[in-house]
A and B are shown apart, each in its own frame.
Chain A
Amino acid sequence: MPKITIEHDCARATEQLVPLLCRIKDISTETSDVKAFRVQTLEGTRPFDCSPGQTAMLAAIPYGECMFCVSAQGEDYLEFTVKRVGTVTEQLHALSIGDTVGLRGPYGNWFPLEGLKGRDVLFVGGGIGLAPLRSLLTWMFAHRDDFGRIDLVYSGSTRDDLIFLDDIQHVWPELPDVHIHLSIYRESEDWNGEVSYTAPYLEQLAFSPQGRAAVLCGGPSLFRTCLASLLKLGFEPDDIITTLEMKMKCGIGKCGRCNMGSRYICLDGPVFSIAELEDLPGAVH
C-alpha cells in the first residue's frame, strides 16, 4: 500500500479574522450536553466549502468564539456538533433556530481522502470525538465504492455520552460493509451492549492492520490508550490518522497558541498521522 500523505500548510479560509454573519438553520439535541447546529448564511446558502476534517470558528455573538470541526455539510448548511463545556459553548446552546452567529473559516487541513482509497478503514472515537470523524464517515458513505470495509469503534462513559446515536444504531449499520462496535464504560440498565473501555475493546476485536488504516479521535486518555492498542495490533504510525485539539484563537497561524514544534494546528493540522506527530515535540506526550 502506498504511504498515506496528508496535506499540511492549508490556507483556504474565505473569512480570515472577521466572521461572516450566519443564521442557525436547524438544531438537533444529541445528548444532554451536545447539540448539533446547522448554520447557513443570511441568504440561505452554505457559508463556504470545506473538506472532511476542516474546522471553523463559530461565534456566539457577543460572547466569543470557538473552533469546531465541521461535522457535516449539506447543500445549504454546515453542521457543527458542540458540547457544552465553557462560556461560549454554553451560550451557543442557549441559541434557537433563526438566531445569528458569526462564522469564519474553513481552517486547516483535511483527512487524506486519496490516501485512504482502496483501504479498509477503522474509526476509533469516544464521546464528542465522533464529531470530527462524522464528516469523514459521511464522505466515505457517499463514495462507498472507493473504500473497503468500514469499522467504527465508538464509546462513551454512559449511553448519554454517545452522540448521533440514531445514525449509529439505525442508519449506518444498514450501509454495505459498515460495522459498528459500541461500548460504554459503566454498566447501566438501559444498555445491553458491550461494557468496556475503548482500548481493551479494540484489542479484543483484534483488527488486522493488513490493508487497513485507523482514524482516531478522542480525549487525552482515550487517545493515549487506544494509540497504544493500535500499535500493539501492528498498525504502522503512518497508517494511524488523528485529528488534534488545541486552544486556538486566530485560526490563521498567527496568534501562536496552537503552535507545536514547527507546526500550527490551525494551519497544518488538525489532521496528522501518528508518524508525523512523533516528530513534533510534545504532541504525543
Chain B
Amino acid sequence: MLLPKDRLTPLLEHLQTPSVRLYVPAQAGGKTTRFALYEPHITTAFHLVNTALPPKDLLFPQTQKMYRYGFDEAGVPYIDPIHDADEVIVFGLRPCDMASIECMDAVFLTKGYVDEFYAPRRERLLAVAIGCTAPAKTCFCDSMGGDANEAPQADIQLNETVDGAAWVVRANTAKGTDALASWSAYLLEEAPGETAPAPAPAPAPAPAPAPASATPAPTPAPAPAPASASATPAPTPASAAPHTPEIKQTACTLRVDMTGVKEKLDALYEHELWERIAKKCVTCGTCTYVCPTCHCFDIGQENRMREGERFRSWDSCMFSNYTLMAGHHNPRADKMPRVRQRFLHKLCFFEDRYGRSLCVGCGRCVEQCPVALDITELIDEIGRITPSASPSAPAPASTPAPASAPAPAPTTSAPSAAPLTPPPAKEA
C-alpha cells in the first residue's frame, strides 16, 4: 500500500485523537529536535535522519514519577503508585531508533523482572518507522547489525518510493496490521499509473537501481519483514494484485568493522588506551542522554512537608556521583574508569548479558559530543590492537590522523562534503 506524501498531514491529523497521543519528529527550539506531541502548529521534521534527542523518553521519560507517599489526615502512611501510560503512536522512527527500543525492551522486560513502569508504556506504543533515504555522515547502523532500510521490529514500516512521491506502507506486526485498518482512507492500493502486475508475493522490494544520492554501496540483504505487505488484509481487497513500487535503498557511508571487537574488549580492561581516550572527555552526560539505548537511572524524591513523590530520572555513568556510595567510597571517582565503563558497557558487557551490542549506530553521540570523542574511532582503534598484545602494551597508532593536514578522513569522509565555494565571511 502507498501513502502519498501529500496525505501525510491529513493522516497525522486523523491519528491524533483525544485518546491517543501522537509523537512526530519536530523542531523544539534551539538545536533541539525531538519526538514531540503532534499539534497543527508544530514544525515537523520528517526530513531529519535522526532527531537530536532519541525517542527513548516516550518509554522511559527523563523524569518518571513512580509513586506518591505521605501520611493522611489521620496520620496513617500511604504509598500510591502512579501508572500513567497513555496510548501512544510514534510516527517517524528510524530503523536505528527501532533497534534501540529492542535494546530497551531487553533491559526493562527481561532478566527476571518486567519493569512495571516501562511495560505498560511499551505495550501501548504503536511504532511507525520510516526507512532512511540519505543517512547522515555519522550514521553507522549497518555496521552494528542494523539496516537503514528495514525496521523489522516496528509495527508499521514506511519506505520512500524511488520517485519520492510516496511511502510504501507495510505492517510488520499484528498490532501494525490492526492499526493500518484505520489508515485505509489515506492509503492507495497501488501506485498511480502503475499497471504492470507485480510478481504475486512481493515481500520485499527488488534492490533499487543506484539511487541518486547514495554511493553504489553493497546492497544490504533485503531481509523480508515477518509480515509482508501482501499479508496485510486490505480493508477493500483490490481485484488485481497490488503492485508495490520500488523503494529507495540506502546504506551508511560510515563503516566500522565490529569483527572481533567484543572478544578483544574482554581482554582490554587494563589497557592503556582508556586513559588516552578519556583524556579529552569532559565527563558531561551528553553522549548518554542523547543515546537512544542508555537507560541508567537514579531514584530520588521530592518532598513537601509530610508527603512527597519518588521518581526515577535519567542518570549518566559519566557523572562522578553516579557510583558514589554513602561514606564517600567511589569506585569510579576518576574519569578514565567512567569512560571505560561507558564504552565497555556499550560494546562488551551488554553483549555478554543480552546477546547484542548496546550501540545501534545512530551516531547521535558522535554528532553531539562537545569534544568529538567518537565511538567509531574507538572501534577502529580496538580493531588495530592485536589480540595477543599484552594488556599494558602501547597501542600501535594513537589517532587516525595522517601526517598532513587538512586531514581527509582515512576511510569514510562523506563524498559530498567538499564544496568549492569558500564560506562567506560572518557578518558581525
Contact B301–A64 (Cβ < 8 Å): yes
Select one of A16, A64, A267 contacting B116, CB under 8 A: A16
Contacts of B352 in A (CB 8 A): 261-262
B343 within 8 A of A: no
Nearest-CB distance from A11 to chain B (Å)? 2
Contacts A16-B116, A89-B326 hold; do A256 and B344 have CB atoms under 8 A apart? no
Measured in the bound complex, the distance between the Cα atoms of B116 and A89 in whole Å is 27
A256 to B353, CA, bound (A): 12
Q: CB-nearest residue of chain B relative to A19?
A: B79
A282 touches B77 (CB 8 A): no
Select which of B77, B116, B297 is within 8 A of A100 by beta carbon. Answer: B77
Task: Tell which of A18, A249, A261 touches B79, judged by Cβ atoms closer than 8 Å.
Answer: A18
Let me know if B8 is at the binding interface, CB within 8 A: no
Contact between B66 and A17, CB atoms less than 8 A apart:
yes
B107 near A254 (CB under 8 angstroms)? yes
B266 to chain A, nearest CB (A): 8
Q: How far is the CB of A158 from chain B (nearest CB, A)?
A: 17
Interchain nearest-CB distance for A154 vs B (Å)? 20
Tell whether, in the assembled complex, residue A65 and residue B349 are in contact, meaning their CB atoms are under 8 Å apart. no
**B-side contacts of A18, CB under 8 Å:** 66-67, 79, 81, 116
Is B112 a contact partner of A253 (Cβ separation < 8 A)? yes
B186 at the interface (CB under 8 A from A): no
* A8 to B: closest C-beta gap in Å: 11
Mark each residue of chain B from 334 to 346: 1 if its CB lies under 8 Å from any CB of chain A, else 0.
0001000100110
Give chain A nearest CB distance to B366 CB in angstroms.
22
Query: B70 contacts the other chain (Cβ, under 8 Å)?
Result: yes
* A contact residues around B315 at 8 Å (CB): 255-257
Closest to B302 in A: A62
Interface size on A, residues (CB 8 A): 41
A85 interface residue (CB < 8 Å to B): yes
Per the bound structure, the CA–CA distance linking A220 and B327 in Å amounts to: 12
Q: In the complex, A247→B317 CA distance in Å? A: 12
CB of B264, distance to nearest CB on chain A (Å): 13
Q: Which residues of B contact A233 (CB under 8 A)?
A: none
Could you tell me if B77 and A13 are in contact, using CB atoms closer than 8 angstroms? no
Residue pair A252, B115 in contact (C-beta under 8 Å): yes
CA separation between A249 and B311, bound complex, in Å? 11
Q: Is B56 an interface residue when CB atoms closer than 8 A count as contact?
A: no
Cβ of A195 under 8 Å from chain B? no
Q: Determine if B269 and A255 form an interchain contact, defined as CB atoms under 8 angstroms apart.
A: no
Q: Given A85, A89, A247, which contacts B323 in the complex, CB threshold below 8 Å?
A: A247
Which single residue of chain B is at the shortest CB-CB distance from A262? B352
Seed contacts A86-B327, A247-B322, A249-B297; 6 additional CB < 8 Å A-B pairs: A16-B115, A21-B77, A62-B306, A63-B303, A249-B312, A281-B344
21 A-B contact pairs sorted by A residue (CB < 8 Å): A17-B117, A18-B67, A18-B116, A19-B79, A21-B77, A61-B77, A62-B306, A64-B300, A85-B326, A245-B325, A246-B323, A247-B322, A247-B324, A249-B297, A249-B299, A255-B297, A257-B322, A259-B349, A262-B349, A263-B353, A282-B337
